[in-house]
Amino acid sequence: MSERTLAIIKPDAVAKHVIGDIIQRYESAGLHPIALKMVRLSKKDAEGFYSVHSERPFFNDLTTYMASGSVVVLVLEGKNAIAKNRDLMGATDPKKAKAGTIRAAHGASIEANAVHGSDAIETANFEIGYFFPEFK
């Protein structure tokens, strides 16, 4: 079934100049961008986006990091887009991510791990609406 998911190319990957490589991977996997923008998140923007993690010990570091540089935010559409993107991304910790995944290729640390991807239909709907209210 065709689905939509929200992806973010995080500040570490933008700084490494691998935006093009990452978008190529999405397109090659049949995940087609239907919305895309480059933005610099404020700390408050990052906190709102990651509010499900507000009780986690790494919340302050994570949201500071996400506001530390520009990010590219995309809505990707395709068959099983949510699960497919999670496979393409690899494990949260780049050291544990399978060879060939985006995080294995480009992630610097468990925090600066190159990309975000929605993990379920409900979170995808929230995250898409957070950045692209016109797609809600």
Does position 113 interact with ligand ADP (CB under 6 A)? The reply is yes
Q: Segment near ligand ADP (CB under 6 A), from 41-49, 69-77, 113-121, 126-134?
A: 113-121
Q: How far is CA 133 from CA 35, 50, 73, 116, in A?
A: 11, 17, 13, 19
Closest CA to 10 of 116, 121, 132: 116
Question: Regarding beta strands 2-9 and 115-117, do their DSSP bridges make them parallel or antiparallel, or are they unpaired?
Answer: antiparallel
Nearer to ligand ADP by Cβ, of 101 and 113: the residue is: 113
Q: Segment near Mg ion (CB under 5 A), from 35-43, 67-75, 76-84, 113-121?
A: 113-121
Q: Which of 111, 123, 125, 126 binds ligand ADP (CB under 6 A)?
A: 111
Element (H, E) at 104: helix 102-106
3-class secondary structure, 18: coil
Q: Which of 21, 45, 77, 119 binds ligand ADP (CB under 6 A)?
A: 119
Residue 116 annotated to the active site: yes
Select which of 17, 32, 106, 116 is catalytic.
116
Nearer to ligand ADP by Cβ, of 59 and 135: the residue is: 59
Nearer to ligand ADP by Cβ, of 9 and 134: the residue is: 9
Helix %, strand %, coil % for the chain, to 5?
A: 45, 20, 30
* Residues forming beta bridges with residue 5, ordered by sequence position: 76
Rounded Cα distance, 65 and 25, in Å: 24
Any idea which residues carry the catalytic annotation? 116
**Contact positions vs Mg ion (CB under 5 A):** 119
**Contact positions vs ligand ADP (CB under 6 A):** 53, 58, 62, 92, 110-111, 113, 116, 119
